[in-house]
């Protein structure tokens, strides 16, 4: 809550962004206050004014400047390159989502954001905005950076002048292409990401300043447009990200943050393992262990509020060609590995009688194994457990990476079922 509005007891002066349900709630609170405080005998404008020798009674009541969500956030990333394989934005089941983040815009050498895929972005932007005809409550955000294009974030955040240039370009881009907000996906401040990325120790504080500058610019534009623009980030689930950012401060400027609670293990490891285990297993492991739960707990322990935390779920898996055959393929060495979409896993492997499905009772995730290939992935059962976890922790909701991997909506439906 960043401001207060003065409210007359006979006519609530409330920003247009307040939802009708919330408006009625505020009115009821004010009416109840007057009844309790003054008694029902005074509940008329003239009598009350006469009794208090006032021509008008005003109460200072704090009013939220953002719509209050009455259901969990269900956000999905749409990747620009999905259009190259035929999955265009008009195929998204927009009625099932609250937010869509478009990945990605990049940061130019002038520190202004620009289209990452200028050959396909304009058409994608148009189709994305048309989804609001299916779901008028849908919010769209332009996501900046990502794994490939985070190299200039440190420069953009370095000075006040740079931050202003970056923020102004975000506003211009957002307005030009009809987005409702900005999503910052800096991978990563201070350390990590591509080896070619420029990083600095000062990134920790400068990231906070960059977010603050962008929040102020969005609020200023929102006041001019009579609209609430959104600001979100996507952040890492590991301890290094928590150490290298000021989570206890930045939440004040954000509508919500997405935590990338996946890619805990992958083809960069020495052994096969789970992509996104819900919990750490008590079984011995030949390598480091982390989980969906440790990631969320780390953010909460760093004083990031649960009500603004959106947990990420992967709609893809990793396929490994193992060189060992013990333990049903788990924690075995491998010769190669690759990412594979949930859609392909269903089409090529789940229905293949050569593959056997296993489910870990503690980590709450499935895997497939045929004596050679090990596949870590998510299915409807594991997604349901993650949704129940999100609900039990009173988090803001879930984020999907990414929408093209589940064209039939199996996992999206499982998320919704888990939230009920």
CA distance 265 to 114: 32
Under a CB-based contact definition with an 8 Å cutoff, are residues 80 and 103 in contact? yes
CA distance 60 to 355: 65
List the one residue out of 286, 306, 287, 288 whose CA is nearest residue 296: 306
In which element (H, E) is residue 380 found?
Answer: helix 380-392
Packing angle, helices 380-392 and 292-301, rounded to 10:
20
Q: What is the largest CA-CA distance in the chain?
A: 88
CA distance 248 to 209: 13
List of residues 6+ apart from 414 with CB closer than 8 A: 380, 381, 383, 384, 387
CA distance 72 to 397: 5
Q: Is 4 a catalytic residue?
A: no
Query: What backbone phi and psi angles, to 5 degrees, belong to 317?
Result: -145, -175
CA distance 250 to 307: 14
Among 56, 93, 168, 187, the active-site one is 187
Angle subtended at Cα 70 by Cα 238 and Cα 97, rounded to the nearest 5 degrees: 65
Query: Measured between alpha carbons, how far is residue 276 from residues 37, 349, 389 in Å?
Result: 54, 19, 13
Query: Measured between alpha carbons, how far is residue 213 from residues 138, 170, 183, 371 in Å?
Result: 25, 11, 14, 54
Strand order in the sheet with 366-369: 334-341, 316-322, 373-376, 366-369, 356-359
Query: What backbone phi and psi angles, to 5 degrees, belong to 208?
Result: -60, -45
Using CA atoms in the order 143, 406, 132, 16, what is the torsion angle rounded to 10 degrees? -60
SS3 content of the chain, % helix, strand, coil (to 5): 40, 20, 40
**Helices then strands (H, E): number in the chain?**
12, 16
Q: Catalytic residue numbers?
A: 187
């Amino acid at each position: 809550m960043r401001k207060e509005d003065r409210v007359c007891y006979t006519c609530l002066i409330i920003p247009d962004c307040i939802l009708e349900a919330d408006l009625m709630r505020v009115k009821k609170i004010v009416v109840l206050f007057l009844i309790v405080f003054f008694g029902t005998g005074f509940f008329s404008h003239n009598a009350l004014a006469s009794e208090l020798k006032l021509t008008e009674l005003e109460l200072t009541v704090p009013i939220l400047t953002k719509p209050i969500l009455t259901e969990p956030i269900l956000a999905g990333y749409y990747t620009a390159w999905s259009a190259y394989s035929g999955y265009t934005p008009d195929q998204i089941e927009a009625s099932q989502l609250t937010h869509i983040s478009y990945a990605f815009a990049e940061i130019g050498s002038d520190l202004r954001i620009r289209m990452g895929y200028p050959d396909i972005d304009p058409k994608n932007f148009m189709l994305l905005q048309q989804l609001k005809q299916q779901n008028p409550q849908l919010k769209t955000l332009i996501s900046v950076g990502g794994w490939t294009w985070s190299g200039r974030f440190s420069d953009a955040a370095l000075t006040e002048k740079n931050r202003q240039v970056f923020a102004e370009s975000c506003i211009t881009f957002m307005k030009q292409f009809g987005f409702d907000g900005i999503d910052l996906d800096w991978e990563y401040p201070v350390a990590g990401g591509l080896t070619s990325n420029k990083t600095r120790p000062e990134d920790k504080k400068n990231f906070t300043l960059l977010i603050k500058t962008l929040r102020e610019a969005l609020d200023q534009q929102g006041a001019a447009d009579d609209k609430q623009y959104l600001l979100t980030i996507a952040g890492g689930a590991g301890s290094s990200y928590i150490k290298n950012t000021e989570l206890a401060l930045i939440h004040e400027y954000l509508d919500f943050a997405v935590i990338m609670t996946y890619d805990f293990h992958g083809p960069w490891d020495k052994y096969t393992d789970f992509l996104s285990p819900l919990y750490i297993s008590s079984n011995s492991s030949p390598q480091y262990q982390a989980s969906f739960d440790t990631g969320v707990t780390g953010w909460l322990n760093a004083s990031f509020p649960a009500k603004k935390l959106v947990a990420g779920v992967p709609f893809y898996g990793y396929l490994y060609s193992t060189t060992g055959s013990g333990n049903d393929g788990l924690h075995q060495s491998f010769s190669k590995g690759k990412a594979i979409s949930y859609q392909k896993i269903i089409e090529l492997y789940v229905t293949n009688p050569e593959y056997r499905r296993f489910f870990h009772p503690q980590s709450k995730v499935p895997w497939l194994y045929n004596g050679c290939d090990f596949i870590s992935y998510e299915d409807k059962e594991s997604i349901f457990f993650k949704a129940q976890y999100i609900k039990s922790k009173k988090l803001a909701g879930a984020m999907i990476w990414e929408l093209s991997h589940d064209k039939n909506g199996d996992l999206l439906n499982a998320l919704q079922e888990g939230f009920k």
